Amino acid sequence: MRANAEPDAAVLAALEDDLNTPKALAELFNLVRKLNKTTDVSRRSELAATILASGALLGIMGGDIEAWFSGSEDSELSAAEIDSLIEKRNAARTDKDFAAADAIRDELAKSGVTIEDSASGTRWRRTG
């Protein structure tokens, strides 16, 4: 990805047109469509850099995705507490204590935390 990428000209023109953010966002989505269609690695890198630069100009896409899904530390349960509960739930599942595992899952759900089990482990995200 290019370090000094410039925002897309169409995105910039939309913003210069009386701050036409709907048009700017539409242009941003056009860039994403182009990125999704191209197979040229160099062009993909250029488009990705332009998308990020355009997003920065709009004040979006600058945050960490995992941090966003994890929520803030101001929430009822901290990330460490959620991780601890998930470890206890996984241990209960290993011991075939499904009632305890379900109770922990329900406790997390009441706190606005969704858990997703997969072959690579358990992931969580805040839902509310």
Q: What is the mean pLDDT of each run of 10 residues along the chain (128 residues)?
A: 75 88 93 95 93 90 70 67 94 95 93 89 85
- pLDDT for 73: 47
Query: Is the overall model pTM greater than 0.85, yes or no?
Result: no
Spatial contact of 86 and 109, defined as CB atoms under 8 Å apart: no
User: Cα(33)–Cα(88) distance, rounded to whole angstroms?
Assistant: 43
User: Cα(79)–Cα(39) distance, rounded to whole angstroms?
Assistant: 38
3-class DSSP state of 62: coil
Beta strands in 20-120 (DSSP E): 113-118
Beta strands in the chain (DSSP E): 113-118, 121-126
- pLDDT for 70: 61
Q: Which amino acid is at 20?
A: N
- pLDDT for 54: 92
